[in-house]
Structure 1
Amino acid sequence: MPAVDYPLEKLHTYEGRNPRPEDFDTYWERAIAEMKAVDPQIELRPSEFQVPYADCFDLYFTGVKGARIYAKYVRPKNVTEPHPAIVQFHGYSGNSGDWNDKLSYAALGYSFFSMDCRGQGGFSEDVGGTKGTTLRGHIVRGLDDHPDQLLFRDIFLDTAQLAGIAMSMPEVDPARVGAMGGSQGGALTIACAALEPRIKKLAPVYPFLSDYKRVWEMDLAKDAYQELKDFFRRHDPQHKREEEYFTKLGYIDIQNLANRIQGDVMMAVGLMDTVCPPSTQFAAYNKITANKKLEIFPDFGHEGLPGFNDLTFQFMMDL
């Protein structure tokens, strides 16, 4: 079989290359405390899109640093008992998408929340305030500032905050909440379940934002990771601060969060993926200590994986 990365045998034992900051755990405990201190000021507005069997809402809440975050919220009608819910996250630069692809879960009797990442293709705010470059990318946003100013720190916290809001809804059973998403959405699924460990099930697909140094060493700092190459070319052309920068990126490297997950995991990876290399995905998966299983697609890259949406639906049916 053609290969773009390590052999599968090595992938199953690969532990990642990117440095992990020494204060990683205290960093995220401090971040979670900041998130929990925020008054979310939740606002629900009936959406223009409606269907007979569910109520559709535009949901807004305040996240860390005062940004207003948007999510689509679909709530099934005529479900009297607290029921399961799903939180969903989208790919890099995208948005929460159309309403109709959330409705299968509403038909199942589940509530469904789909978040727009701050400053990307949807309605969530990016309040800015970072020192240093903001050119072409959220990974490098805040890289020349204090680690608390890394933009993906705040986006990770938004995912956990949305999950907590979903769990607080009277119609939702807080012990039966799942998370899902692909690419950036896969990374955010892992981050969400790590920072909100009550997530019961999660289905990340080829997760982004993992093992940045491995991406660099594979010469794959292109496509979704292009901003890494742009950053070094403009701001550290001789790589004199390479170790410092990769260590700082370690705060927002999902492989370092993966061992906090407590829910059941079903993850999908395509072994021909040159956008999010398989080894970077395995670096995160191999650190998950919770109950987990991996669905491997040997001939597929960063693209639709046939049948995995159906597998995910069945995986979530017994939340």
Structure 2
Amino acid sequence: MAFFDLPLEQLKTYRPEIRCPADFDAFWQQTLQEAAQHPLNARFDEVKTPLQTLRVFDVTFAGFGGHEIKGWLMVPHNLEGPFPCVVEFIGYGGGRGEPVDHLTYASAGHAHLVMDTRGQGSGWRKGDTPDPVGSGPQHPGFMTRGIETPEAYYYRRVFTDGVRAVQAAQASELVDPQRIAVAGESQGGGIALAVAALSHQVKLLMSDVPFLCHFERAITLTDSIPYVEIANHLRVHRDRWEQVLGTLAYFDGMNFASLCKVPALLSVALMDQTCPPSTVFAAFNHFAGPKEICVYPFNRHEGGQTAQLLQRLKFLQQHW
């Protein structure tokens, strides 16, 4: 795959107009207030694993609507807590998997809470959290589930789950509640960006090749999954373009970035057709806080992989 998006010099200054709904703040304030009516009920049940250097806890907490959300919490076995904590969100279609899938942060001396994504976990790694909410007609996948209105849209529930995951991490006596970072790749990076803007408890953001940014350009620039799900939906529902964009504006990473002021580390791959580089730079260039971005010119959606993971650990070390 050759370069297909704007040249890097243009990407560095690409800052499209933000179309943030007038009631954006009120919408999310109301959403989180409704979630707060449900007791968090965070539980941490220690489980036995073959891992000798880590302690592992099966996590359960109440997310959007009081729905039960699963996760893992891992901490170093022979160190004194409380620990700074990385709350991580998963890429599209994946679930929390098994504890052995998540060794790095706890091995480096951090607590690590991995949130299962509701309704996902059958695409490439298993999950354990259902989404009990239905929707109107949708294209297969998650991108158009409830897309008729912001109130019904799937990612309203997921982003709220993410904010509640941060609260669940803080509820553990093993976690330093003043040192919480959020992280993720692709969909996970998009969720992390939203949660960093919505939760005042988040102190650091690490978002790699983030999905869910600059929807209007992404839908018309790439025909790769998952953005193509929206285009396919509109191919059938030909009269819904403005309605769909109106819903997506409440979930656009560009809008969250303009409100987020915590230190942030992002990454982008210039041959990425899943999350086109201009959509990532649109969020990065609007980001309101201290920021840095790692650019991988010849990578696709895999991004920097281990090289970027090392950058994350360096970023955490610098700030903690």
**TM-score normalised per structure 2:** 0.91
Q: Which residue does the alignment assign to 1:32?
A: 32
Which residue matches 1:123?
A: 128
Residues 105 and 2 (structure 1), Cα distance of their counterparts in 2 relative to 1, 3 Å cut: closer
Is residue 138 of structure 1 aligned with residue 142 of structure 2? yes
Partner residue, 2:255? 256
SS in 1 for 2:288: coil
The 3 A distance-change label for structure 1 pair 160 and 119 is: same
Supply the distance in 1 between the matched residues of 2:74 and 2:224 (Cα, whole angstroms).
Answer: 36
CA distance in 1, matches of 2:169, 2:215: 31
Counterpart in the other structure of 1:203: 206
Range moving further from structure 2, 51-60 or 87-96: 51-60
1:36 Cα offset (Å): 2.2
* Deviation of 1:52 (Å): 2.6
1:16-47 deviation per Cα after TM superposition (whole angstroms, max 9, x unaligned) = 36743221111111112122222122222233
Structure 1 CA distance for aligned equivalents of residues 250 and 217 of structure 2? 16
- Select between 294-303 and 3-12 the one with higher mean Cα deviation: 3-12
Aligned match of 2:229: 227
Report the residue type matching 1:227 in the other structure. Answer: E
Deviates more, 1:250-259 or 1:2-11: 2-11
Pairwise CA distance, 1:50:
4.6
**What's the secondary structure of 1:266's corresponding residue?**
strand
CA contact (8 A) 1:88 1:185 kept: yes
Please say if residues 184 and 207 of structure 1, whose CA atoms lie closer than 8 Å, have aligned partners that are also in contact.
Answer: yes
Question: Structure 1's 142 and 17: CA in aligned 2 closer, same or farther, altered over 3 A?
Answer: farther
Mapped partners of 1:128, 1:134: distance in 2: 13
Larger RCO, structure (CA 8 Å, separation 6 or more):
1
Encode CA deviations 1:112-160: one digit per residue, 9 max, x unaligned: 1111110001111201233x1143122211112x421111011011111
Residues 2 and 50 from structure 1, CA distance in 2 versus in 1: closer, same or farther, beyond 3 angstroms?
closer
1:112 match: secondary structure: strand
Distance 1:101 1:201 in 2: 23
Please give the residue correspondences for 1:154-169 in structure 2 after superposition, counting only pairs within 5 Å.
154-169=157-172
CA-based RMSD of the aligned residues comes to 1.9
| 1:275 corresponds to | 274
* Distance in 1 between residues matched to 2:187 and 2:20, nearest whole Å: 20
Q: Structure 1 counterpart of 2:153, which letter?
A: L
Q: 1:167 to 1:314 in 2, by over 3 A?
A: same
Deviation of residue 214 (structure 1)? 0.3
Structure-2 separation of matches of 1:273 and 1:53: 36
Alignment-derived partner of residue 178 in structure 1: 181
Q: CA deviation at 1:196?
A: 1.2
Q: Matches of 2:255 and 2:303 in 1, distance apart?
A: 27
Gaps of 5+ in 1: none
Residue aligning to 1:7 = 7
Partner of 1:296 in structure 2? 295
Aligned equivalent of 2:243: 244
Is 1:286 aligned with 2:281?
A: no
Q: Is 2:263–2:290's contact at 8 Å kept on the other side of the alignment?
A: yes
Where 2:184 maps in the other structure, the secondary structure is strand
Residue 22 of structure 2 aligns with an amino acid whose one-letter code is: E
Indicate the residue corresponding to 2:264 in structure 1.
265
- % identical equivalent positions: 33
Offset from partner CA, 1:258-291 (integer Å, 9 cap, x none): 1222321111101111111111111111111111
Please identify runs of 4+ aligned residues in structure 1 that moved more than 3 A.
16-19, 78-81
1:16–1:280 Cα contact (<8 Å) kept: no
Distance in 2, Cα, partners of 1:89 & 1:165:
14
Letter paired with 2:79: V
One-letter code aligned to 1:137: G
